[in-house]
Amino acid sequence: MNKLELLKTFVRVTELSSFTQAGESLGLPRSTVSEHVQALEALMGTQLLHRTTRKVQVTQDGLVLYDRSKSLLSNMDELEGLFRQDGAVLAGRLRVDMPSAMARKLFIPRLPEFVSRHPQVELEINSTDRRVDLVREGFDCVLRVGAQPDQSVIARSIGRVTMVNCASPDYLRTYGVPKTIDDLAGHKLIHYVGVLGARSDGFEYMQNGKLRRLPMAGGITVNNTETYESACRAGLGLVQVPKMGMRESLASGVLVSVLPDHVPAPMEVSLLYAQQQHVPERLRIFMQWLEVIFREHAREGGRLSNP
């Protein structure tokens, strides 16, 4: 049995804490995944995973093997293309995560360009506003907007996006157009939180170089950017969003910009990836492509800030 395949299976089970999910990710039956792990444990002479009816948990020996395996598999990916005459030929699988709005509006429409250049690269694209665990869930890279508190991964800034306050014409006809911060006392804010149940920061704006937060009324709270925009279009309140994602809506009049002098600070856009000795070539090239597309789109609107 191919030892590298055993390691790949073990790594994916460890990252997902599930034989079933690992099998779905690798295109293998659950029984084959279990056989691979058992064979690897027999080969290593130790138990690598604790299995119960509720969960799968890696052992201490398993953690050691997991760390070594990630580096080994990354190095093998590099070796596979070491002596290829055509350096542009990339192959293998990439598992990436990005915000749903950016995937739909920005990257998926341009993805045929990357696929045509590198047809042997297999892409798994997860689109969610949830903050995924890059290492545990087995992602090669994550595109993230906002502050990056996780110090265990590498975060490469690719720019910043300016923010805008938006409302629908129907909402403004009903509540009026706010001209000052004091006017917000008579308005509603659609609250956005990462996890439902969390407390909203309220209306954010910069004043004299400092971030201010104003609690605001509003009966709608969402945790998804698509729903956030839809609620604004429906006239349910004000939203604060990256301007680059609202260009079409603002240009067409579907949404209207308000309080342009009272917007939040620009938000950092970063590519996150695990710390490793060698970044696989296919990952390096894909991240370069993501950065180029982002910067092109941002530059078209004249709203790109360099880190």
Whether residue 109 is predicted with pLDDT greater than 50 in this model: the reply is yes
Residue bearing tokens 């006017």: 183
Calpha distance 228→97 (Å, rounded): 20
**165-170: average pLDDT:** 96
Whether residue 307 is predicted with pLDDT greater than 50 in this model: the reply is no
Q: Is 75 left (phi over 0), alpha (psi -120 to 50) or beta?
A: alpha
Domains of the chain in sequence order: 1-80 (1.10.10.10), 163-265 (3.40.190.10)
Whether residue 57 is predicted with pLDDT greater than 90 in this model: the reply is no
Average pLDDT along the chain: 85
Asked if 272 and 144 touch (Cβ cutoff 8 Å), the reply is yes
Whether residue 122 is predicted with pLDDT greater than 80 in this model: the reply is yes
Q: What percent of the chain is modeled with pLDDT above 70?
A: 89
Among 143-147, 148-152, 155-159, 292-296, name the one with the lowest average pLDDT. 148-152
Q: Computed over its alpha carbons, how large is the radius of gyration of the chain?
A: 23
253-276 pLDDT, tens digit per residue, is 999 999 999 999 998 899 998 876
Q: What is the pLDDT of residue 73?
A: 73
Q: What is the pLDDT of residue 304?
A: 40
Q: What is the pLDDT of residue 97?
A: 92
DSSP class of 298: H
Residue bearing tokens 């798994």: 124
Q: What global pTM score does this model have?
A: 0.69
